[in-house]
Amino acid sequence: MSYATLTDLIDRAGDAEMRQIADRDRDTVIDQAVVDAALVHADNLVNGYVGAKYDVPLATVPDLVRTWAVSIARYILHRNGAPEHVAQDYKDAVAALKDVAAGRIALPVAAGSEPLASSGGEILASHPPEVFTAERLRGW
């Protein structure tokens, strides 16, 4: 299950823009395979960050995640250079995903999909014996 769909992209960007950026064979029809590839890339990026705190793929897709996936896929579809507002949406989405991974943003997920427990383990270190001890330096 993808976090976003072609319909979500059209809702955000409009039909005209989608035909411009996703009609690679120039037959005035949006190429579903092109859109699907961009959506897979967006899903992978979302999962990469969100997976640090949640089990992925998410069972239910919060609107926030859908918005980020749309922004990422739209940016990817602009392969010849995205307009500034599209690039900014992409940067904002990636920044928000980094915040999710760092625990600064909690996703509104369904019950049973709470964030993964962080390990509160201890840090262990190993080192060689000390060279300069008080005993060895006595008399110097």
Number of domains present in the structure of the chain: 1
Q: How many CB atoms lie within 10 A of CB 18?
A: 19
Q: How far apart are CA 53 and CA 98, in angstroms?
A: 11
- Does some domain include residue 127? yes
Cβ-contact 65, 107 below 8 angstroms: yes
- Does some domain include residue 125? yes
- Does some domain include residue 75? yes
Cβ-contact 4, 66 below 8 angstroms: yes
pLDDT tens for 96-108 read 999 999 999 999 8
State the residue range of the domain holding 45: 6-137
128 alpha-carbon distance from chain centroid? 42
95 alpha-carbon distance from chain centroid? 9
pTM for this predicted structure:
0.79
- Does some domain include residue 1? no
The mean per-residue pLDDT over the stretch 14-37 comes to 96
Structure tokens at 27: 């037959």
- Does some domain include residue 133? yes
The mean per-residue pLDDT over the stretch 113-120 comes to 55
Q: Residue ranges of the alpha helices (H) in the chain?
A: 6-13, 15-22, 32-50, 63-77, 84-102, 134-137
Express as a percent the part of the chain with pLDDT over 90: 74
